[in-house]
Amino acid sequence: MSLKDKIASILFGTKEEPAPEEERYVPPAQESPEPPAGPPEDPAVIKLPGEHPLIQLYGLRRREVGRLPAPRLCLDENGILPEELIRKEKSRFLTGLKNVSNFRLKSTKGGGNRQKKDGEGSDGEPGGLDAFPWLFISADKLYAWVLVFPPTGQGRELTRDILVRALEEQDIAYGVDQRLVDRLSHDEDRYFTLFLIAQGKPAFDGKNGNIVDYFPRVVERLLEVDEYDQVDYAALNLIHNVKEGQEICRLIRPTEGEPGRTVLDQEIPAKSGKAVPLPKGRNTEISEDGDALVALTAGHVEFTGRSFQVKPVLDIPGNVDFSTGNIKFLGDVNIKGDVLTGFTVRAMGSIWVGGVIEAGSTVEAGGDLTVVKGILGDGTTTVRAQRCIFSKYIENATIYVRENLQTDAIINGSIYCDGEVLVRSGRGSIMGGRVWAAEMVSAAAVGSKSECRTSIMLGGLPCTSFERELVRKELKGLEMELERLECQLDSPVKASLISKIRVKLNTAELRLQQLEEDLEDIKEELKGREEDGRLECGVAYAGTEISIGDETVRLRHEERQCIAKMVCGEIVVM
């Protein structure tokens, strides 16, 4: 174009020349070789090239009727279909559309041999083709689309009867959009637009049964980090306790499948979910409703590869050391080896130790405690039992026992016993330290020839008094720690630690108050029971102190085959 022509075009516009009749129509959307950048294209939208037979049919129809909405082909107008389905059906749809469009185009140009009931015109031209609803059914027969080709020549426009007849010929009878059927015959965009006209009902397979575990099947060693970012390697969390009747795992039952229906009104079968059995093992049972596995007894839960089992007795084949970590167990514990220094064993049931409880360790039993080789402490070892303790010997350890204590020897021990202390077998001696028994102390020998200080206390509530002493020591330690922290510079860590210590202080104060109230309540009752406390020994060496209530007697010389008890408010050694 010359410069003169360009100026004239800008000033006066360019007059469009009519396109020749045989020229193919290219829609505006296809004229732009490079569309502007924007959001990603919708995979459900189908764009056709200008030479596609459907575009040619559209051009013929537009020249015949004038203004006509552009073709709109979208498999998922409402955004309800799965993307995978759209990808699979898109190629099938394009193949079918090309075939039917080519056939329609050839029929149009070939003179409309298919329909002649309207007769030929006076100029000898055929009557034309009626509107044709082309129905496309998805491979799974769950969806059906309709694309209506317009009439040509004297052919009939789309009517509801034509559309209904086309549906019946294709056997489409389920999930038909009747509103679309009713309005499509008079819609402005009824031609060259793809509509989803029928939807089936997909089948839903049932879900398989499942097991929800409340205890791990694989035990992992979890290291705990405290507020100082220190790791306690003794706390390995290898034991998982369960209470009697507590659920170990729960069954999620399978669901029934829900059959579907195709647009051809055919049933689509559905599979029901598969059931799974509860992993029932030793000391477990299935609940009455059959949906849970519960423990028959308290103990340790283990998964053996096929089932959960509850072990009421925890067997430790060796020592309690870094290979086992600290033990906290709801059942009984059998330890074949020793409890090494620095480790803790706590059990709701009884504890059996085949070796030694070493210095600096802590052992607490909810039942009986049996130590085959003895307790060898260093003054910091603490052993507790809610029932009886049986030990070969006790040395430099603090012992708390609610019922009776039986051992061969006690050396520099701190014993608190609400029952009887029996030291008759073996050496049968109590040497040094303090033994406080509520009922009786019986030993072959008390004290030593060197007159080491040995204290025997009788009556009262030794265990409750021991707890009170521990709480007082704890309070004193917390108060000292609080004072030390308050002298430090302010920081978030300081505030957090002070808050924790104050909570512990409040708890300890409440506990101490409760213990003192308990002691006060039974003070009068204890006075009457003090006369029941007694010491029986084969020999009591000089230097031995005997206390009953507020009375204390120190032996000045050796006593043999003696009995000490309270008589008329005084301690009598016989």
Q: What is the pLDDT of residues 257-305, one digit of tens each?
A: 999 999 999 999 999 999 999 999 999 999 999 999 999 988 889 898 8
Please indicate whether residue 256 or residue 11 has the higher confidence score (pLDDT): 256
Q: What is the pLDDT of residue 350?
A: 87
Q: What is the DSSP letter of 45?
A: B
Res. 66 pLDDT band, cuts 50 70 90? confident
Give the other-Cβ count within 10 Å of 532's Cβ.
Answer: 14
Comparing 130 with 228, which gets the higher pLDDT? 130
Return phi, psi of residue 61, to 5°.
Answer: -65, -35
Domain ranges of the chain: 16-31+40-199, 210-308, 462-521
Looking at residue 511, what is its pLDDT?
A: 80
User: Does the pLDDT value for residue 36 go beyond 60?
Assistant: no
Q: Which of 357, 208, 316 is nearest to 272 (CA)?
A: 208
Q: Would you put residue 153 in left (φ > 0), alpha (ψ -120 to 50) or beta?
A: left
Q: Which helix (H) or strand (E) holds 399?
A: strand 394-401
Mean pLDDT of the chain: 83
Q: How far apart are CA 45 and CA 324, in angstroms?
A: 65
* Closest by CA position to 410, among listed 537, 243, 303: 537
| pLDDT of res. 466 | 82
Predicted local confidence at residue 227, as pLDDT: 64
* pLDDT tens, residue by residue, 408-434: 899 999 999 989 998 888 888 999 999
Tokens of 385: 């039992």
How far is residue 412's CA from residue 537's CA, in Å, rounded to a whole number? 18
Amino acid 301 reads V
Backbone angles phi, psi at 422, to 5 degrees: -115, 115
Query: What pLDDT score was predicted for residue 400?
Result: 92
Q: Does the structure show a pLDDT above 60 at 17? A: no
**Could you report the per-residue pLDDT of 151-173, keeping only the tens digit for each?**
888 888 899 999 999 999 999 99
- pLDDT score at 144: 94
Percent of the chain predicted with pLDDT > 70: 84
The predicted-structure confidence for 348-393, as pLDDT tens digits, reads as follows 888 999 999 999 999 999 988 989 899 999 888 999 999 889 888 9
Which residues are 369's β-sheet partners?
351, 389
More confident residue, 136 or 571: 136
Distance, CA of 113 to CA of 446 (rounded, Å): 130
What is the per-residue pLDDT for 23? 43
Q: Is 133 helix (H, G, I), strand (E, B) or coil?
A: strand
Q: How confident is the model at residue 231, as a pLDDT?
A: 58
Q: Decide: pTM greater than 0.85.
A: no
What CA–CA distance (Å, rounded) separates 127 from 152? 8
